[in-house]
Amino acid sequence: MDLLRLACRIMARVSTFRSYQCVLLLACSLAVVAFYYFGSENQNFSSTTKRIKQTQSSHNANRNDADLTMDTRLSQLHGPEEGPGEKDEETPARRYHVLMMFTKVDKSRSLQDKFRVAMLSMVKHAHFLEGEILVLHFVSDQPSKELGEKMLQEFLTHAIFKYEVVFHDVGALTRSLFPIVEAMQKHFSAGSGAYYSDSIFFLSVAMHRIMPESLTRIVQLDLDLKYRTNIRDLFQEFHRFAAGAVIGIAREMQPVYRHTFWQYRKDNPTTRVGEPPPEGQPGFNSGVMLLDLAAMRSSALYNQLLEPTNVAELAERYSFRGHLGDQDFFTMIGMEHPDLFYSLACGWNRQLCTWWREHGYRDVFQLYYGCDGPVYIYHGNCNSAIPDD
């Protein structure tokens, strides 16, 4: 505007000089054009910059960083033939949750090798339907998490299914578990007392109290497994649970509990406790477990059995002193309350350990070890070699 006023003043002063009138008019026109042209360009540039900053700010504000306080997530939400913009946002994805303990893996080459076998075989056979996602949960310490993230980038490269990866901090879960399971540790831990660090081995016992209400089913798996079929098929076993069942678990395939219950068996010579299948109660193996978290939350009986006084009473009744954590607890309560458990076929947890055959039980070992039917998952417990097939 200052330029226009200056031009007009000049025109007024030189109005008597008609010979310069055309030149002055031309100058005024050029000044007006320059003002609107350059002024408009500056305004457009500023608006565009503002919009870019607002867009970037909005993007950052919408990041789900809140989850990082509890866990670390990696995800691959696009199938091999699905682009980023092709997902139907109105159709909620169906998630299949599995959980593995992943602590001290950075310090153990053996655990790393087992994890490689487990994940590569799982990825090889796994496939899911449209709109389904496999969520892989790992309970881990920080060094193992860093290693696990690198390993998973390799193992999941050729996955033909959608997946998410969640790392849970073992320290946070231990702090949550300890008050719940402290009383039972003295009965089912290897040490002579209740150790804070041992509580993580009872994760499955109290999973329903730790995981969010929205998570209703999860499969807990050992690292020393090899999959021979689609992991999705294992989740179909949830539909076979009878009313009142809260956990799906396979029987123990060695005479572990024949040995552990020796005092009770001596005092009760006709008992079925510790006897081999099909008529006996050989106990459970926790290498593969289906946890119906919704049923666990709603079962008054199951939650009563978690109470310290009830744990102590049962342990005393059965003269029980174990060292295998959650597996011991499930075995003990299963002796009196078998309806809480769905008996998973041995082929879903084909245990390969033969340690007890060489330690006093050769004469009865095969009665426990036999498994008819197809093998879906090999379990290389006690560092047993897993077949290559």
* pLDDT score at 32: 42
Instruction: Check pLDDT > 50 for residue 42.
Output: no
Q: How far apart are CA 142 and CA 235, in angstroms?
A: 30
**Residue 76 sits in the same domain as residue 223:** yes
Mean pLDDT within 367-382:
97
* Residue at a domain's end among 61, 81, 106: 61
Residue 133 lies in a domain: yes
Mean pLDDT of the chain: 83
Q: Out of 18, 44, 61, pick the residue that ends a domain.
A: 61
15 pLDDT band, cuts 50/70/90, is: very low
- pLDDT tens, position by position, 194-210: 666 689 999 999 999 99
In a domain, 388, yes or no: no
CATH number at residue 210: 3.90.550.10
Which residues, 6 or more positions from 177, have their beta carbon under 8 angstroms from its beta carbon? 199, 200, 202, 203, 206, 210
Residues in the chain: 389
pLDDT at 301 over 80: yes
Query: For residue 175, what are the CA distances in angstroms to 141, 182, 186?
Result: 14, 11, 18
Statement to judge: residues 48 and 105 lie in one domain: no
Which tens digit of pLDDT belongs to each residue from 80-137? Answer: 433 333 444 456 789 999 999 999 999 999 999 999 999 999 999 999 999 999 999 9
Instruction: Assess whether 56 and 75 both reside in one domain.
Output: no
If one compares 82 and 389, the residue with the highest pLDDT of the two is: 389
pLDDT band at 254 (very low <50, low <70, confident <90, very high): very high
Residue range(s) defining the domain that contains residue 249: 69-383
Least confident of 24-38, 237-251, 328-342: 24-38
Q: Residue 113 falls within a domain, yes or no?
A: yes
The confidence score (pLDDT) of residue 14 equals: 42
In a domain, 102, yes or no: yes
On whether residue 389 sits in a domain, the answer given is no
**Domain assignment of residue 19, yes or no:** yes
Q: Are residues 263 and 368 in the same domain?
A: yes
Three-state SS string across 163-206, please? EEEEEEEHHHHHHHHHHHHHHHHHHHCCCCCCCHHHHHHHHHHH
CA distance 166 to 99: 9
Q: Residue 191: what pLDDT?
A: 67
CA-based R_g, the chain, Å = 33
Same-domain status, 30 and 137: no
Task: Return the minimum-mean-pLDDT range out of 39-53, 86-100, 133-147, 344-358.
Answer: 39-53
Could you tell me if 156 and 298 lie in one domain?
yes
- 76, pLDDT greater than 80: no
Residue 349 lies in a domain: yes
Task: Of 23-37, 138-152, 319-333, 352-366, give the lowest mean pLDDT range.
Answer: 23-37
Q: How many domains, in total, are found in the chain?
A: 2
Compute the average pLDDT of residues 290-317: 97
* Element at 1 (helix H, strand E): none
Fill in the DSSP letter of residue 92. P
Average pLDDT rounded to a whole number, residues 7-16: 47
The answer on 361 and 314 residing in a single domain is yes
Is 201 in the same domain as 330? yes
Is 179 within 8 Å of 307 (Cβ atoms)? no
Question: Is the pTM above the cut of 0.85?
Answer: no
Across 231-237, average pLDDT: 98
Indicate if 183 and 300 belong to the same structural domain: yes
Q: Give me the pLDDT at residue 120, please.
A: 98
Q: Are residues 267 and 299 located together in one domain of the fold?
A: yes
In a domain, 217, yes or no: yes
The residue among 45, 61, 77 that closes a domain is 61
Q: Looking at the structure, do residues 27 and 103 belong to the same domain, yes or no?
A: no
Rounded to the nearest 10°, the torsion over CA 136, 141, 143, 148 is: -10
The predicted structure's pLDDT at residue 74: 62
Q: Which of 16-30, 75-89, 188-202, 304-318 has the highest mean pLDDT?
A: 304-318
219 with 303, same domain: the answer is: yes
Partners of 90 in beta bridges: none
Which residues, other chains included, contact 235 with Cβ-Cβ below 8 Å and sequence gap of 6+?
96, 217, 219, 290
Tell whether the model's pLDDT for residue 172 goes beyond 70.
yes
More confident residue, 44 or 13: 13
pLDDT at 44: 38
Mean pLDDT along residues 353-381: 97
Number of alpha carbons in the 13 Å side-chain half-sphere of residue 203: 27
